[in-house]
Amino acid sequence: MIKFLISLFVSISVFSQSNPLKQPQNIKLFADYLFCEKDYLRAAEEYLSLDESYLSDTIIYKIAKCFSVIGEFEKSLYYFKNIPSSSFFFHNSKREIGKIYYLKEDEASLEHIIADKNNSINDLLKLKFALKLSKNQAADIENLLSYDDEDFTTLKKFYYQRKNPDYKSELTAGILSAIIPGSGKIYTEEHSDGVTAFILTGIFSYLAYDNLKHEHKFRGYLFTGIAAGFYLGNIYGSVASAQIFNAKVDFNFLESLSEFLTNRNYFVKEYEFCK
C-alpha cells in the first residue's frame, strides 16, 4: 500500500511538471489571448506567473498596459518605469506615464518627467497644457503657445476659450431683473423663466395697485407682499441663473477637452498586439 501511494505521488509530480498548460510558452499564449479579449486583469496575472527570465520588454509593457486600463495606476507606473531606455517601447511608456499623471492630476510628477530630456517632450508638454487648462491655470502655459502642430493648434483654441469664457455677469443679471423683472433670466438664456417672472410680477403688482386704489387694504397688502416676493425672488433667481450658466460653461469646456484627449488617446501610441 505504501509503495502504491509513493508511486502515485511520484506520477502526479511528474505529470504536474510535464503538464503542457504550465509550460511558459503556453502560459504566454494564454495571456496573449486574454489580453486580446480585453480580460486585462487575468492577462496581467498570467503574464506575472511567468518566470522573470521570460519577461521581455513586450510582456512588461503589456503588464503595465493591463494595469493602466483597469485603473491600477500604481502597479502600472511600476512596470512602465521598468521599461529600459534601449527598448522600442521606452518613449511610449513615458507617454503612458504622462497619461496616468494627467488622469491623477499629478502636476508635479508630470513636470518631473518633462524635465528628463530623454522623454518625448512634445507629447508630454501637450498633457501639461491640457492639465493646466483643466485646472483653469491658463496663464501658466502662455510659454507653450509658440509650439505649432495639429494638436497644439487645437489646444490653443481651448486656451482662448478658457482665457475668455462666455460667462454671464451675476451683477448684470441682478440689475437687469431689478429694472425689468425677468430680464436677468432672459440675459442668462432662461427665456421661459424670464417671461414667466415678468408676467407674474406684473400681475400681482397690478392686483396690489388696483386693490389699494379701491381701498381693499387686506387684499392690497396681500398682493403687495406676493408681488414683492416675486420681484425679489426674480432678482435672486437671475443671479443664481448666471452662476448656473457659468458652471455649465465650465462643465462643457471640460467635457470637450476630455473628449479631445480621449480621441487622441492622450497622445499615446497604440500597438497592434492582436493582429
Nearest to 28 by CA among 58, 4, 69: 58
Residue of 72 and 116 predicted with greater confidence: 72
Q: What is the mean pLDDT of residues 230-237?
A: 92
Distance, in Å, from the CA atom of 81 to the CA atom of 79, rounded to the nearest integer, reads: 5
- Report pLDDT for 14: 43
Retrieve residue 232's grid coordinates.
425679489
- Cα gap 24→171, rounded to integer Å: 70
pLDDT in tens, 14-64: 444 555 657 888 999 999 999 999 999 999 999 999 998 888 999 999 999
Q: Is the pLDDT of residue 8 over 50?
A: no
152-172 average pLDDT score = 94
Contacts of 61 (CB under 8 A, 6+ apart): 79, 80, 83, 87, 89, 93
Helices and strands (DSSP H and E) totals, the chain:
13, 0
pLDDT of residue 140: 80
Give the pLDDT score at 172. 96
Length of the chain: 275
Average of pLDDT values for 75-94?
94
pLDDT at 110: 93
**Residue 117 pLDDT level (bands cut at 50, 70, 90):** low
The model's pTM is 0.80
- Taking CB atoms within 8 Å and a gap of at least 24, the contacts of 24-30 are 24/50, 24/51, 24/54, 28/54, 28/59
> What is 83-122 written as a DSSP string?
S-TTSTTHHHHHHHHHHHHHHTT-HHHHHHHHT-TTS-HH
> How far is CA 141 from each of CA 56, 130, 155, 192, 217, rounded to the nearest angstrom?
39, 9, 11, 40, 65
- Mean pLDDT, rounded, for 156-163: 93
- Is residue 121 predicted with pLDDT exceeding 80? no
Per cent of the chain over pLDDT 70 is: 91
Question: What pLDDT score was predicted for residue 5?
Answer: 42
pLDDT of residue 216: 86
pLDDT given for residue 21 in this prediction = 57
